Amino acid sequence: MLITDDFLPVPVPESLTATYLVPMVGLPKVGTKTAVRALAGRLAEPVHGLATQMLDSPLMSVDTRPVAEFPALPPDLLTAFGAGQAQLDRLAAATHLVVVQAEYRPGWPPAHEWAARAVAAAVAESAGGDVVDVFGLQFLDPATALRSLPDEQGRIRLVDWVLVPYSSDAEGLWFTTKGLRRFGLLELQTQGVPDHLTRAWGAVLTGAARRLLRAWTDGLAGDEVPAFVQLPVLATVTGHDIAVAYGNPEQHGATAPVLLRLELDPATDPDADSFLSLRPPPGHPGPDGRYFAAACATLFDGIAPDVRYARPGDAMSRAIATARAGLDDVRARFLAGRLPAESQLVVKYGLPGDEGPEYVWAGVTSWDAPERIVGASASDAGTDPAVRIGAPVVVEAADVVDWAVLGATGVIEGGWTQAVLDAGEAPA
């Protein structure tokens, strides 16, 4: 086995198992094979054929058992991962569970996951019920489960298979992935992420998962399953990785790549999970959180450090007027939680300088008073040494010249002044 400073050997499990449950009242009225045949023409190949073949092989089992034979699924965790009350009520009323399990070797395609999810969705659809993904502790309605399976080109959205939960501690946010072990790879984690990067870092970690999963499956492409796969110690993440992971490859921008260092964090408890930790590359000065903020600023349009000084111009004046006219509305939507899911609101404001105002961006964390915005700086200011990436800032609404709602692949709404600058209509 080759071990160098450039690669990290990650152990490969001998086999992988997928488990899905279908809660129902009474016994199934439609046979499993009949339910799967009903998906013909609706499910892309080779998934439909794969599900049919595995159903007829020892690699898959489908059993119906009384609910009492199973440990109770934790409703608090199911709720945390998106379960609705109606789904929880149907689970509580269920008398039986259809258990779909499949086993396969690590590699691509992940036949155990694709086939088991397809079969479970077929059973649930025939019974008018739900699918429970045991690994992710998620409820899936049959249509959602089927949409998550590969299309005609074999493409999937990684966000349908890998979640990114997080929690808070004294050092900031602790992010982990939950789903990479479906494919045999250790889960990723990042610690010390600034609080204002909740949505942005979740997207970055998803993009990193996509890049590393590709390297992982490339290492498993041979006929024999190796004991280890060598992953690069320095992982490159781009806007394209994030866009593809979210199923929007055409929306990625030409962003600069970001480097993250991969470290193995083995569990000390034999019953606990080991992780692959993502940290700044060697030689980065300062706390990890500052590098993570800079990485987000690089990867997402609209929050890159903007030290350009916009001179007055008709296009810029119109852009600022448009942004300011929409401040009250975007504040109301921010407070009501009506901005798009997994998005981040940022504002652009001016700092006084000898050569005129310097315009910088900040992520909004709270906006209780209409005249005052509390946030965290998304860039280092050249005119004020106290304004650094990740540092808390208080912005007067009167100083705001622009705002934007950012999604995983860039600006969803707003960013009018940035568009003028990028078009070169206002010299800098």
Q: Give dist(CA 365, CA 358) in Å, integer.
A: 22
Q: Write phi, then psi, for 229 (nearest 5 degrees).
A: -120, 135
Has residue 250 got a pLDDT over 60?
no
Alpha helices in 128-152 (DSSP H): 142-147
| Residue ranges covered by each domain of the chain | 13-156, 159-300, 314-423
The distance from CA 144 to its chain's CA centroid, rounded to whole angstroms, is 17
Q: What confidence tier does 2 reach under pLDDT thresholds 50, 70, 90?
A: very low
β-bridge pairing 187-193 and 275-279: parallel
* pLDDT tens sequence across 348-398: 988 876 556 778 888 898 998 888 999 888 777 777 777 777 778 889 888
pTM over 0.85: no
* pLDDT tens sequence across 393-409: 889 888 898 999 987 66
Strands (E), 177-298: 187-193, 228-232, 234-237, 258-265, 275-279
Alpha helices in 162-230 (DSSP H): 198-219
Q: Give dist(CA 181, CA 87) in Å, integer.
A: 26
